[in-house]
Homo-oligomer: A and B are copies of this chain.
Amino acid sequence: MVTGHVFIATSLDGFIAREDGSIDWLDMPGVEVEDHGFNEMMASVDGLIMGRGTYEKVLEFGAWPYNKPVIVLTKSLKASAIPKHLQDNVSFCSDEPEQLMQSLAGWKRAYIDGGSVIRSFLSAGLIEDMVLTRIPVLIGRGIPLFGPLLKDVRLLHIDTVAYPSGLVTSRYRVVAHE
């Protein structure tokens, strides 16, 4: 079955966005010129699975940043809502995580994105590894990356890189749900 892979940045206090979804605090001097491994990660996956919130946030960016298939997990959006220029790239799906992953014939690796989608895939044991980047700022409130779990999730630390900008990226493999 296809494996799930996370690549995401949070504030030092664990948020992926402010409560209103804004990510202004991600802008830091020097970050733009650094290679944090995003392109390598994108090249390694067959496509992305993300939540509605993440999808709508990416739409706001203007230019669509992905050159791989994107599956948006949503029970509310209708396929007719997909903008014309994205109809070859984006599809909507209301499956449960395991059901979706089992249906992805031909995919080996999926990039799992967005807080609630990551949490549901983690709980379902569908995440193989996570690359977490810490931005050196505390924002106090926001949308958390992590949340309640059915049981502890033990991780194996693979490596950590600290960048001149102050970003710190750690790679973990999910080893066990205890």
Interface residue ranges, A against B (CB under 8 Å): 12-14, 25, 122, 132, 134, 136-141, 145-157, 159-160, 162, 166-168, 170, 172
Contact = CB atoms under 8 A, between A and B. Distances in A.
Contact of A155 (B12, B152, B155): B12
Contacts of A157: 136, 162, 166-168
18 contacts: A12-B146, A12-B172, A13-B146, A14-B146, A122-B138, A136-B172, A137-B152, A138-B155, A139-B152, A140-B146, A140-B149, A140-B153, A141-B149, A155-B166, A157-B162, A157-B166, A159-B162, A168-B168
Rank and list the top 4 A-B pairs by shortest CB-CB distance, nearest first. Answer: A140-B149, A157-B166, A13-B146, A136-B155
A160 B155 CA distance: 19
A100 to B, nearest CB: 22
A122 B137 CA distance: 12
A132 B12 contact: yes
Given A134-B170, A138-B146, A168-B168, 12 more contacts: A12-B155, A12-B172, A13-B147, A137-B155, A138-B153, A138-B155, A139-B149, A140-B150, A156-B166, A159-B162, A160-B160, A168-B170
A149 B140 CA distance: 5
B155 A140 contact: no
Nearest to A24: B152
A151 B157 CA distance: 32
A132 to B, nearest CB: 7
